[in-house]
């Protein structure tokens, strides 16, 4: 009697082959999506830390000028509510700590934090071109851990579904398996390389792979939702980093950028622009007399009146406690820049009703400098306008 040749059957060989290839492809797809998601979320988290540091730098700048630790803590107050920040530290110009804040929440994944946030993000705070201190921001894993946990669970679910489905798929032709898996790999490829979180796995005609595609689509839905949330938060932080929180006017950083851009444009076109430097008179005395809430109301009123006097293409910003700047661009040849300054003084001097019901009539000193008549670059133009403002302030004191 002839004994059958020993060895495996073709059916078993194909079954093992299909099982191994399917398991590998799906695991690679799931890992690719997971890594792509972590990379994207880490990028958004890094950007949020950067914007938070810039926002904190603006908030603590006045405190560094006066070396006021209490004011520095107040300047950091908006940052302590942002998720993903573990520690904040403000250093003065000598590198000595002025104030520090540490999150009371426990880091959910210290290893993940050390891997993604090994060192703080540091922003040097400058005033009038000189460094007056630094702010350091440490991130933690709280914005990433939820994604990692869900991603691992979803990946595990995908692998379980695949393991069950390969028992049936092993008896099908290779083409029937390669084509749907190729579509899944294409989606994973687009997600990894192009951050196409809007891509979805289409129905494949195989129940197991359709369930797998559904799990991947669910994971992509979550990634797309997180991406939208992170973009919204990034836009909000970007707005806060470039705008004054009280008056909603652009801040010093936004002004510097606008001034450089508009001077470059004026040089190309041969046009003129005017810079008006506005400083509220006796604001500190009024603030001390009526209180900080009244002082804030005066600043908000001043910023509103400044905006109302400008044309749509002009630009206004708050660059200090009671200091504002205006870019009139371009300067109308028929209108003297000093006329614009007089108009601003008149608008600012209207009475303001304070929170306590008192009437307060603010006044302001205004200095004007014109590019390129009085200065040939941004720094010189700002210096000239500042000097003109102080001259106007001295003149006002002499008249009074």
Question: What span, in angstroms and rounded, lies between the C-alpha atoms of 2 and 128?
Answer: 99
Q: Write out the DSSP string of 136-153.
A: EEEE-THHHHHHHHHHHH
Q: Is 46 a catalytic residue?
A: no
Q: Are residues 281 and 304 in contact, defined by beta-carbon separation less than 8 angstroms?
A: no
Report the relative pairing of strands 130-139 and 273-280 from DSSP bridges: unpaired
Catalytic residue among 322, 329, 386, 392: 322
Question: What span, in angstroms and rounded, lies between the C-alpha atoms of 250 and 239?
Answer: 9
What is residue 170's three-state secondary structure? Answer: coil
For residue 81, what is the DSSP state? T
φ, ψ dihedrals at 249, nearest 5°: -75, 155
Question: What span, in angstroms and rounded, lies between the C-alpha atoms of 356 and 259?
Answer: 38
Question: What span, in angstroms and rounded, lies between the C-alpha atoms of 394 and 400?
Answer: 10
Q: Which long-range contacts (CB under 8 A, 24 or more apart) does 10-15 make?
A: 11/171, 14/170, 15/170, 15/171
User: Which of the residues are catalytic?
Assistant: 322
């Amino acid at each position: 009697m002839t004994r059958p040749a020993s060895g495996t059957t073709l059916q078993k060989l194909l079954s093992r082959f299909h099982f191994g290839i399917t398991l590998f492809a799906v695991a690679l797809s799931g890992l690719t999506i997971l890594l792509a998601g972590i990379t994207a979320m880490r990028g958004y988290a890094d950007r949020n830390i950067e914007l938070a540091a810039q926002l904190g730098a603006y908030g603590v700048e006045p405190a560094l000028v006066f070396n006021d630790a209490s004011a520095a803590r107040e300047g950091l107050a908006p940052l302590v509510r942002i998720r993903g920040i573990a520690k904040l530290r403000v250093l003065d110009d000598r590198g000595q700590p002025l104030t520090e804040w540490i999150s009371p929440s426990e880091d959910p994944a210290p290893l993940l934090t050390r891997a993604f946030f090994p060192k703080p993000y540091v922003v040097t705070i400058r005033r009038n071109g000189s460094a007056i201190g630094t702010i350091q921001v440490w991130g933690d894993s709280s914005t990433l851990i939820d994604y990692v946990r869900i991603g691992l669970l979803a990946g595990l679910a995908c692998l379980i579904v695949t393991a069950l489905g390969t028992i049936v798929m092993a008896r099908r032709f290779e083409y029937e398996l390669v084509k749907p898996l190729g579509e899944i790999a294409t989606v994973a490829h687009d997600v990894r390389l192009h951050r196409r979180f809007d891509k979805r796995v289409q129905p494949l005609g195989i129940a197991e792979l359709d369930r797998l595609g559904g799990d991947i689509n669910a994971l992509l839905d979550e990634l797309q939702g997180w991406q939208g949330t992170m973009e919204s938060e990034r836009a909000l932080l970007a707005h806060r980093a470039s705008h004054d929180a009280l008056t909603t006017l652009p801040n010093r950083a936004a002004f510097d950028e606008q001034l450089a851009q508009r001077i470059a444009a004026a040089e190309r076109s041969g046009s003129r622009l005017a810079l008006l430097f506005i400083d509220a008179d006796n604001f500190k005395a009024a603030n001390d007399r009526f209180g900080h809430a009244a002082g804030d109301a005066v600043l908000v009123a001043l910023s509103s009146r400044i905006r109302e006097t400008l044309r749509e293409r002009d630009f206004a910003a708050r660059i200090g406690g009671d200091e504002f700047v205006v870019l009139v661009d371009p300067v109308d040849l028929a209108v003297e820049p000093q006329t614009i300054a007089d108009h601003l003084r008149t608008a600012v001097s209207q009475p303001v009703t304070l929170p306590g019901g008192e009437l307060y009539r603010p006044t302001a000193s205004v200095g004007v400098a014109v590019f390129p008549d009085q200065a040939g670059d941004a720094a010189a133009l700002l210096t000239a306008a500042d000097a003109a403002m102080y001259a106007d302030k001295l003149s006002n004191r002499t008249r009074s």
